[in-house]
Amino acid sequence: MKYKITDSQLESVIFLYLDNQDFIQIEKGNKIYFVNSEDDTHAQIRYDKDDGWCGIYYKLIDEISSFFSLEQTDSKEVIGRWVENTLQMRVTNTTNETEGIFNEVENTLQMRVTNTYNTYLDLLS
């Protein structure tokens, strides 16, 4: 049996899925980090309050894409809309992020980061 789901229905299901991840929000300076636990060494999402940029950990994008059979660009956009809805702040851009961007989390979580990599956002700075 086949079912037809509208885009808004699918988005609602993805929002519910992300809500159930029980992310912990850690705010430091102009950034808000979404982490799975306080013991995490990297964030799943990083939101910059100054410019509205939303960095999304590539594995989270892959997870949403795979689970909901979406293109990565569509997953990125829906995660960005979820961040807007959750924070009640405007997301101006979403980017795929590797583990490297989360070296800022070291200070936020007061943990030692053992690996860092250059990222797209680092290159723009």
Residue with the two structure tokens 């309050």: 49
Is 1 inside a domain boundary? Answer: no
Is 75 inside a domain boundary? Answer: yes
Domain span at residue 58 reads 7-124
pLDDT, one tens digit for every residue, the chain (125 residues): 777 888 889 999 999 999 999 999 999 899 999 999 877 778 899 999 999 999 999 999 999 999 999 999 999 999 999 999 999 999 999 988 876 555 555 455 555 444 444 444 444 44
Is 15 inside a domain boundary? Answer: yes
Closest CA to 98 of 122, 77, 81: 122
Q: How many domains does the chain have?
A: 1
Residue 66, phi then psi, degrees to nearest 5:
-70, -50
Judged by DSSP in three states, 111 sits in: coil
Contact 41, 23 (CB under 8 A): no
Is 113 inside a domain boundary? Answer: yes
Structure confidence at residue 38 (pLDDT) = 79
DSSP string, 29-86: TTEEEEESSTT-SS-SEEEETTT-EEEEEHHHHHHHHHHHT--HHHHHHHHHHHHHHH
Is 2 inside a domain boundary? Answer: no
Is 41 inside a domain boundary? Answer: yes
CB-based contacts of 40, cutoff 8 Å, min separation 6:
105, 109
